Each structure stands twice: as structure tokens, then as C-alpha cells.
Chains A and B, each alone.
Chain A
């Protein structure tokens, strides 16, 4: 290497400015770019230990750079030596000599003084350690009505006496006098198609089955809105009026990482056993999820699941078709 031009700023200040710029990029530049790349509403800051790693790398690289030749090293040290031998005057020298030990003292104090921050707990959202095996392949029986159920439904519809859950009784009273009766209050395609065929006198099994599913989904939505909405929100966004007061937030079912990653049996198990039924790694003591098996019969729970998946516009994960007994994980590949 022949000449080593120090540049207009001088070797010392160029190094310092380079260090500041690199620090700035790590501390603020990376989070800013990460936010744009991920589209999340917040920035991903660089973790503390990684910052230490980057700064160590930077220091090592800069040191190698300035000590590359004796001349460069001397250029770098020149301003420091000038300051410490009084070249800039007595006042700056004394100021720096006092400030540096005080700054170091503050760093020592900051690292040894006891600080208080909330104890954090790592929590497993979908624990499987106590997930019963029989639930892995469970499907919602109400979602696929059997022929006898469909036939019963057709009979009830013909006489205008379709059975609904008790909570809907007052609403049924208000609409049963309408021209098409109770089912006429359902403006959905499935029910309207069934009503048309019913008037013709001979509704097909398939149309009736779709109408029965539609009716159960409607009951499920009503039960969901009565029991689950206060926490999970009326649109299943985990934003119900009660949600904000719980540190462990109610699940947002519209999020891609929730309903679509678990089989139906898992959702049924969670609803049934609630927060208290969770294993310790999922912090049951913080969970507000009620133990619904104490209050809600099974078929209401199945209907709620139909309503919930409908409102969230999600479908459940399909269980794996296993050759032998699985090892406790919900539908995961071996």
C-alpha cells in the first residue's frame, strides 16, 4: 500500500463517524426495514445480545483497519495524543479526563444496580402433553347430519315445528306467524332453496341436509355470540368487550395461526376443559377460558364450533391418516 490519505475529516473522526453510522443502522435502520418487509404494524428490534455481537465485530474490524499500518495508526491516535498533552488547551483535557471515569462509573452502576422488570413466562399456546388421543380424529358429528336426522328435519319442516335451542324461543315466536314461517326468516341460499322444494312437496335429501347444516350453524352463531363473544369478539377477532382486561388475551380466531393449525378435536377439547384444564406449560392460572363442560351440553358445543368457524371464515386442519397410533401430537406428520 503506498499513500494512505487521511481524508478531510482526519483518521480519528472518520472512524468515530463510521462507528456511529454502523450503530445507527443496527439500532434503527434494521427495525425500520424489517417493518417494511414483514408488513407488521411494529418494528422488529435487534436483540441485545446480537447488538453486542455486531458492535464487537465492528470494533474488531475498525481496529484491524486503523492498525493496518503504523502511519494509519499514528494518524488515528494523533488527535487523542494532542488532547492529552494539552494541544487543544488545558480546559478540554481536564474535561475529558474527568468525564471518562465518571461515564465508566455510571456504566458500572447501571449494570450492578438491582432492577425490577416483570417476570416473563414462556407459554406454549397449543400444548399437547395432556391432549387425549381419542380427540385427535374426532369430527363434529353435527356438521354431517345423518339420514335419520335429515328425515326428522324434513318432517318437522312440513308441519312447521322445527326444533330450536331454547334461547331462540322468543325470536321463533316473533317470526312463526310470517308467510314462510320460521324457516322463512332465513334469507340464506341453502334455506331458501329448501323452502322452495318444500313448497313443491318433495324436498330432496341433499337440499334438506344443507338446510339443516345452515340451521345448526345459525344456532351455533347465536350460542357463540351469547357465550364466547364477550371475550373472543362478535367477529371472532379476540377483541370482545371483556378482552382488554385479561393479560392473556382471548384467541383471535381470524388469525391464520389459530383455528387452521389445529384439528376439530383439539378445539372441542379446549372448549370443554377450558383454561383450568391446560397443562402447566400453558400457564392455566392466567387463562380466563371457562371450563364449558360444567355449563354447556355437548351438542351446544358442537353447534358453537360450527358458528365459530363460519364467523371466522376458517376451516379446521384435517387429522393425519395414520397407519398406527400417533404420539400425542395433534395431526402432526411423523
Chain B
């Protein structure tokens, strides 16, 4: 018996071994390819086929794709590399470049080239070849005086995270003025943030929103963050803190930054609207909203219809919904570094007649004070069979959509801030319905709080509520009934990012369902079930006694 058991156990254990899979990705598994003119020549071919359209034939970061990207592709001729393990101002090691080429830089257009992650990617040998070619764009790589392997920043002994370490880190975040760029809430909305520029082309740049780790370019673990403190980000306003913050303190700071990170998004596609008693509050800060579960709707760039925009600043909007016997309300919350409350229609982007490509961030006056912040929720007007719907980008003539649009500039002017619109296709624009149909009430608040110390500051977050009667007489309005899946999608605009018109963040269709209360029949059946089984038991026990 024991033999059989131990054999089975060993078999099971053997099974488990190949089930675990982990790939290094950022670290080479084979010895590094030797640098040689042949390797550089092969790298040149790879660079030409896979890199030159962004980074340029001359490595100047100005290929044909560059104008539509924000951040722009790296200009290799300046020798300023952001993500390294070497001291501030120094070159990256070959291994640093290997990591960037293998994993890409999430949150930018630089993608992973590791063949284990993408089937058409580059093998390790090919990655070394293209790295050696890229290094030829900046002569200092060939100069032994600037050898990066002699400039590795020392990584201090690990200090594991703990409540104590995080508390220390919080104090350091305040004292070292990290909040001046990253904001006291960590959302990248500090007082210096609108003025920051890079050293490549003096382009504007935004400090990282520390609460969204999936957008960190070179990793979001405490170790990765500590590397940024050690090395600074060359060419960017982020400095090295090696001289100003002690070794253990750098770990405390890193642990604090990790503690700011959001929980993973809840991307469930069904929003449950909760039935409540009493008046629906229009105030986004009303405590009744905190008891309701919402979903995080993923947003992405509007790249479907021109003008195409691949640099949205809003990547998710949290939506909640409640309803009573008369009205339904939706609450939208999203991160936005600046409170944009003015809209200048005259500055809106004019779509060129001939198509050349995507809209560039340089085509729109990208500055706070030009365009409003806004959010819109879109519903199909008609009721459809099965899963058919209008197209999620504004429908079309035969399948129009109803949008509720909240505008920050109207809110600021204390006018009714939610508009009831209709759209019949991407080119139709948002058409406001007549005055009698403007039944949507809206209220938006740019949240304030005291996230770091006693100073009340902007948190870098908008919170907006829109509500409307459940049904209206207007045939161009969506009508709400209990227990039915009603499709909805979102559009969102960050004015300071130059977003207006169709240059916006979009989502695809999700569903909202007005939760019907549990019918009484459910409870009746349950009790019936219990009673029946109970009676059966009595009969059995009686019989056994005999």
C-alpha cells in the first residue's frame, strides 16, 4: 500500500514540474554575443526592418511614425538613455538595453521584442546584434573612458516593506519634495508638473502617475523604483537621489511609492445598477455612493475614425450606478492631472482633407486652458434583438445613439453641465437635442483632500454624477427597464492633452443591468425544499426505529 502511495505521489510531483513556467525575459539566458563588425552589420539589417520607422534611419528618433507618438521614440544620437542601472548621466550597459528591447516600455509605443513573448520577435542573438548597431549612433559607447560597466549604481541592502517602512517613506516623500512633480496624491499633478520639459527637444513631459503601475516604463516593483532613485532618468526632470537620500531611506521611499499603487482594475463587462430607496444624490461625494460596487471601464485611444489619436491620457473610468422608482444615476471617476474648465472652439483640430496619418500631439495646442475636460456615456436608442447594437463609435444613420455629455466648463460657469445629445455616426458630431429634452442633471467635482499632510490639495481626480428619469417621452432617448441588459460605452476627454472632438479616449460596449429585487418565489421554493426534505427524514427515521 505504502509503495503504491509513494509511487503515485512521485508521479504527481513529476507532473507538476513542467506545469510551472517562467521566462526571464529581461535577462539573457545564454552568454552574451561577442561584439564584432559582423554583429553590427547584422544588427543594421534588423534595425532597418524593425526599428527605423520609429527611431529613424539615422537613429535620431524621427522616423515616419514619431510624430504621432507621445512620448516620442528615443533619439539615439544624444546618448541620453532613461532606464539603466548606471549612475546619473552615464551610459546604459548592454544588459540595460537588452532589458528594454526584450520587454519594451509599457505605457509607450516601445513594445516587447523577446521571441518568447512575441512569435515574430527577436532571438537573443538578434537582440544583441541590434543593440551593438544602435550603440554606433553615439560615439561615447566606443570610448573606454565612458564604460558603463564601471558606473553601476550600488543597490543598497533590501529593506522589506512594512507599515513602519511605508510611514518613513511617506515622510521622505514630503521632505524630498517628490510631491512637487508627482503631486501629494501621487497622481502626477504636482505644482511643477505643467512646466516640465525634456532635454531631447524641450518637449513637454508629465511626471508619472504613481498610482497606475502598469504604465511604469521599466517595472513597478520596489526594486525597479529604487533603481530610478539610484540612476535618475537621463534627459528627463527626474533626478538621481543617491546624494540626497541615504541607502535605507531610498528603500523606505520605494516601499511608500509601491503602497500608492491601485488594486488591479475590475474589468467585468456588466455594471449592476443597485435599487435604492429615497432620492438619488447628485453629489459625487455623497457617502451613499461608497456602498455601491462599480466596474472599471478600460479606455483606449480613438484610432478608428479620423482624426486618429493614440495618446489618450485617460486609460480607465470607474462607473457606478444606482436607481429608484423614478430615476437612474451614474457616477464616473477618473484620473486627470489638470482641472481644465475653459473650452475654445476656435482652437479645435481641423481634419485635413487628404489623409496622411494619425493626429500628432503637435497638431493641437496642447496646453491647459484650451479645451474642457469631459465625459460622455453612450447608449443605443433602439431596442435590438439578441446582441446586435449600433457600432460603438457613434453608431450610424440607421442605428443612432444617445449620449449624456458632461462638460467641465459649463460646471464651472454654474450652468446645467450635462447635455442630452444624439449621434448618427462618427462624422455627425454630437448633436444636442431640443430644450424640452434636456432632462439630464449633472454635477462634477475635481476632488480635493489631504493625502500627504495637512495641506488640502487637488487629488488629480474628477468625480461626476449624471442622472435622468428612467423613462422619457422622447423617442431619441434610451429607456431603462429592470432586469434587461442595456449596452453602454464611454468617451472621455482630457483638455490639457489637446483632446476634443474625436480626439478622445473611447471604450467598447459594456452592459448595465438594473438589478431586480429577488422575487418572492425564490424564498418560497427554498422553504418548500427544506420542509419536503425534513418530512422525508422524519419518515426514514420512523421506519428505522421499527
Give the interface of A toward B (CB within 8 A).
32-33, 35-36, 41, 81, 84-85, 97, 100-102, 104-109, 112-114, 116-119, 121, 166-168, 170-171, 174-175, 185-188, 218, 221-222, 225-227, 229-231, 233-237, 239-248, 253-255, 275-276, 280, 283-290, 295-296, 310-313
Is B387 in contact with A283, judged by CB distance below 8 angstroms? yes
CB distance from A194 to the nearest CB of B (A): 15
Complex CA distance for A246 and B393, rounded to whole angstroms: 12
Is B15 in contact with A33, judged by CB distance below 8 angstroms? yes
Residue B194 at the A interface, CB < 8 A? no
Residues from chain A with a CB closer than 8 A to the CB of B291 are none
Closest to B56 in A: A171
Residue B76 at the A interface, CB < 8 A? no
Residue B49 at the A interface, CB < 8 A? yes
Complex CA distance for A43 and B518, rounded to whole angstroms: 35
Residues from chain B with a CB closer than 8 A to the CB of A218 are 48-49
Residue B301 at the A interface, CB < 8 A? yes
16 contacts between A and B (CB under 8 A): A36-B19, A101-B529, A101-B534, A104-B533, A109-B522, A187-B45, A221-B53, A226-B65, A233-B111, A235-B111, A235-B113, A254-B119, A276-B396, A285-B509, A286-B389, A290-B303
CB distance from B393 to the nearest CB of A (A): 8
Residue B435 at the A interface, CB < 8 A? no
A85-B545, A230-B358, A235-B120 are known contacts; what are 18 more A-B pairs with Cβ within 8 Å?
A: A33-B15, A36-B18, A100-B533, A105-B526, A105-B533, A108-B525, A114-B518, A171-B52, A174-B60, A222-B63, A240-B111, A242-B300, A245-B301, A246-B300, A247-B509, A248-B508, A283-B387, A290-B304
Complex CA distance for A254 and B120, rounded to whole angstroms: 6
Complex CA distance for A127 and B266, rounded to whole angstroms: 32
Is B391 in contact with A275, judged by CB distance below 8 angstroms? yes
Closest to A245 in B: B300
Residues from chain B with a CB closer than 8 A to the CB of A243 are 300
CB distance from A183 to the nearest CB of B (A): 12
Residues from chain B with a CB closer than 8 A to the CB of A36 are 15, 18-19
Residue B268 at the A interface, CB < 8 A? yes
Q: How many residues of B contact A (CB 8 A)?
A: 89
Residues from chain B with a CB closer than 8 A to the CB of A289 are 304
Closest 3 CB pairs of A and B: A245-B300, A254-B119, A108-B529
Complex CA distance for A283 and B63, rounded to whole angstroms: 36
CB distance from A254 to the nearest CB of B (A): 4
Is A288 in contact with B303, judged by CB distance below 8 angstroms? yes
Residues from chain B with a CB closer than 8 A to the CB of A255 are 119
Closest to B531 in A: A101
Closest to B16 in A: A32
Provide the B490-517 mask, 1 if CB < 8 A to any CB of A, else 0: 0000000000000001111101010110
Complex CA distance for A255 and B301, rounded to whole angstroms: 25
Chain A: interface secondary structure?
helix
Residues from chain A with a CB closer than 8 A to the CB of B391 are 275-276, 284-285, 287
Is A241 in contact with B310, judged by CB distance below 8 angstroms? yes
CB distance from A124 to the nearest CB of B (A): 13
Residues from chain B with a CB closer than 8 A to the CB of A275 are 304, 391
Is B118 in contact with A101, judged by CB distance below 8 angstroms? no
Is A167 in contact with B120, judged by CB distance below 8 angstroms? no
Is A116 in contact with B357, judged by CB distance below 8 angstroms? no
Residue B44 at the A interface, CB < 8 A? yes
- Quick one: which of B19, B52, B118, B310 contacts A242, CB cutoff 8 A? B310
Residues from chain B with a CB closer than 8 A to the CB of A233 are 111, 118
Give the interface of B toward A (CB within 8 A).
15, 18-19, 21, 41, 44-45, 48-50, 52-54, 56-58, 60, 62-65, 68, 108-109, 111-113, 118-121, 268-270, 272, 298-301, 303-306, 308, 310, 315, 355-358, 386-393, 396, 399, 483, 485, 505-509, 511, 513, 515-516, 518-519, 521-522, 525-531, 533-534, 537, 540-541, 544-545
CB distance from B136 to the nearest CB of A (A): 13
Complex CA distance for A188 and B52, rounded to whole angstroms: 13
Complex CA distance for A313 and B357, rounded to whole angstroms: 25
Is A221 in contact with B49, judged by CB distance below 8 angstroms? yes
Complex CA distance for A224 and B65, rounded to whole angstroms: 10
Residues from chain B with a CB closer than 8 A to the CB of A100 are 533, 537
Residues from chain B with a CB closer than 8 A to the CB of A35 are 19
CB distance from A93 to the nearest CB of B (A): 9
Residues from chain A with a CB closer than 8 A to the CB of B357 are 167, 226-227
Residues from chain B with a CB closer than 8 A to the CB of A239 are 111-112, 118
Residues from chain A with a CB closer than 8 A to the CB of B531 are 101
CB distance from A48 to the nearest CB of B (A): 20
Is B315 in contact with A285, judged by CB distance below 8 angstroms? no
Residues from chain B with a CB closer than 8 A to the CB of A248 are 508
Complex CA distance for A226 and B66, rounded to whole angstroms: 9
Is A116 in contact with B63, judged by CB distance below 8 angstroms? no
Complex CA distance for A290 and B159, rounded to whole angstroms: 50
CB distance from A249 to the nearest CB of B (A): 10
Knowing A167-B357, A244-B298 touch, does A286 contact B64 (C-beta < 8 A)? no
Complex CA distance for A311 and B53, rounded to whole angstroms: 13
CB distance from A224 to the nearest CB of B (A): 8
Residues from chain B with a CB closer than 8 A to the CB of A222 are 53, 63-65
Closest to A103 in B: B533
Is B119 in contact with A229, judged by CB distance below 8 angstroms? no
Is A226 in contact with B530, judged by CB distance below 8 angstroms? no
Is B62 in contact with A235, judged by CB distance below 8 angstroms? no
Is A231 in contact with B65, judged by CB distance below 8 angstroms? no
CB distance from A73 to the nearest CB of B (A): 15
Residue from B48, B65, B68, B509 having most chain A Cβ neighbours under 10 A: B65
Is A32 in contact with B540, judged by CB distance below 8 angstroms? no
Residues from chain A with a CB closer than 8 A to the CB of B519 are 114
Complex CA distance for A242 and B315, rounded to whole angstroms: 10
Is B530 in contact with A101, judged by CB distance below 8 angstroms? yes
- Quick one: which of A33, A187, A295 contacts B306, CB cutoff 8 A? A295
CB distance from B479 to the nearest CB of A (A): 19
Residues from chain B with a CB closer than 8 A to the CB of A234 are 50, 54, 109, 111
Residues from chain B with a CB closer than 8 A to the CB of A113 are 518, 522
Is A84 in contact with B541, judged by CB distance below 8 angstroms? yes
Complex CA distance for A289 and B112, rounded to whole angstroms: 23
Complex CA distance for A11 and B356, rounded to whole angstroms: 79
Is A32 in contact with B355, judged by CB distance below 8 angstroms? no
Residues from chain B with a CB closer than 8 A to the CB of A280 are 388
Is A225 in contact with B300, judged by CB distance below 8 angstroms? no
Is B355 in contact with A296, judged by CB distance below 8 angstroms? yes
Is A230 in contact with B527, judged by CB distance below 8 angstroms? no
